Structure 1
Amino acid sequence: MILEKKCPIFWQSRRLKRVVNSTLAAETMALIEGAEAAVYMAGIIKQITAVKDVKIRCLVDNKSLHESLLSSKQVENRRLRLDISVLDDMIWREEIKKVEWVQTSHQIADCLTEKGVSSEKLRGAVSRN
């Protein structure tokens, strides 16, 4: 989910483009897709407004993914190494300002993809003054 000033401007849920063998790989692919969508939306915002710098902050609830991005130690899976390096490169080029870890209980978009999850957090995030 992409929010701009607490307004949702983009959301997507779909199957991954390739089969993966771990939660870490799935979360990494999802983060890449989300980050690429955010970079695209930031470009549009820059074109239609006077805003020169749109800071992209990605939130993940997978601790292993967050630690992999902070660590110089490489993951064992070679394909996953490539995916993580894509994210590292986006951070290095400052397309993404930062990737932050949050507890799963604080993920506001889970109600859009998981059965039985309350939408209260999402509604609260977009309706705060």
Structure 2
Amino acid sequence: MTSRARRAGRRRRRSQDGGAGGAGAEAAGAGPGGQGGAGPPPELPYFVRRSRLHNLPVYLGLRQGRRLTALRHIHGDIWALERDLRAFLGSLGVPEPQAQVNEVTGTLRLRGHWGPEVRRWLLERGF
């Protein structure tokens, strides 16, 4: 049996079952991958879309020897997200972080490695 035939058989079985997941983690209230986010999007002026593998789009990196945290896939009012994120980091006792907003690409870059904090904040906000 060829791989094409196997894929076609899987597709047929999925459509007969009523979807890809069945009664797994999604029925228990968790989103794809068990990471939450199954409900409707929060009522905010911005939205952060997850990656195609259902991960939060928070990336850590280095640029010219500086640590950076990048938040991608931002739709809506990116400046409101920056204000809210700065307020959150300020509540953690972080001095005013430098941020760069790119409205065209929907990206927000922060100086410093704030990955776990930003991910936790996004999950608390319902993304």
Q: Judging by fraction of residues, say which structure has more helix.
A: 1
Q: Judging by fraction of residues, say which structure has more strand.
A: 2
Do they superpose with TM above 0.5?
no
* Higher RCO (C-alpha 8 Å, min separation 6): 1
- Flag the structure with larger Rg: 2
